[in-house]
């Protein structure tokens, strides 16, 4: 299992960054390889992703969520992974978003890609695209302010 940690500073208030991250169905706009995410209920999502030319589907559960602080999840099916995204206020108009993921690549190509740093590069790129997405909009597309205790 590999652990990946990447951070990025965004020029929006922490509430704006957090609210946007709660809009899972918008992830295909900034996450490479994510084809679709369907929100099944307040804590369950169904993902369709393309990895190395192959389409994979899996379900994930939000295991902890606190507004403007953190969103944690784990996969319920498919490749095993879990993670947490944390949100930190830097100033009234800027924040830091940090993604930490534990990934157990499934299949030969994914294991090779993980060893070569492809997965870490993808996470970094996803955060850079999130920054461009939220900063170009200046406002979130929606937000869910519910709390999911651990």
pTM: 0.89
Q: Kindly report, residue by residue over 105-138, the tens digit of the pLDDT.
A: 665 445 555 554 557 888 999 999 999 999 999 8
Q: Kindly report, residue by residue over 48-104, the tens digit of the pLDDT.
A: 988 778 888 999 999 999 999 999 999 998 778 899 999 999 999 999 999 999 887
CATH of span 2-137: 3.30.530.20
Angle at 105 between CA 103 and CA 108, to 5 degrees: 165
Residue 35's nearest CA partner among 18, 17, 19, 51 is: 51
Domain boundaries, the chain: 2-137
> What pLDDT score was predicted for residue 90?
98
CA atoms of 28 and 98, how far apart (whole Å): 19
On the question of pLDDT at 11 being above 70, the answer is yes
The size of the chain, in residues, is 150
> What pLDDT score was predicted for residue 150?
84
22: which residues sit within 8 A by CB, 6+ positions away? 65, 71, 142, 143, 144, 145
């Amino acid at each position: 299992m590999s652990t990946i940690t990447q951070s990025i500073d965004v020029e929006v208030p922490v509430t704006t960054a957090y609210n946007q991250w709660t809009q899972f169905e918008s992830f295909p706009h900034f996450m490479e390889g994510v084809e679709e995410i369907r929100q099944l209920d307040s804590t369950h999502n169904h993902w369709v992703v393309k990895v190395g030319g192959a389409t994979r589907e899996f379900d994930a559960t939000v295991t902890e969520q606190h507004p403007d602080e953190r969103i944690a999840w784990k996969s319920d099916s498919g490749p095993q992974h879990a993670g947490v995204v944390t949100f930190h206020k830097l100033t009234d108009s800027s924040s830091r978003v940090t993604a930490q993921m534990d990934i157990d690549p499934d299949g030969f190509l994914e294991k090779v890609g993980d060893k070569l740093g492809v997965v870490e590069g993808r996470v970094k790129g996803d955060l850079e695209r999130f920054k461009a997405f939220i900063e170009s909009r200046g406002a979130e597309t929606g937000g869910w302010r519910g709390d999911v205790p651990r």
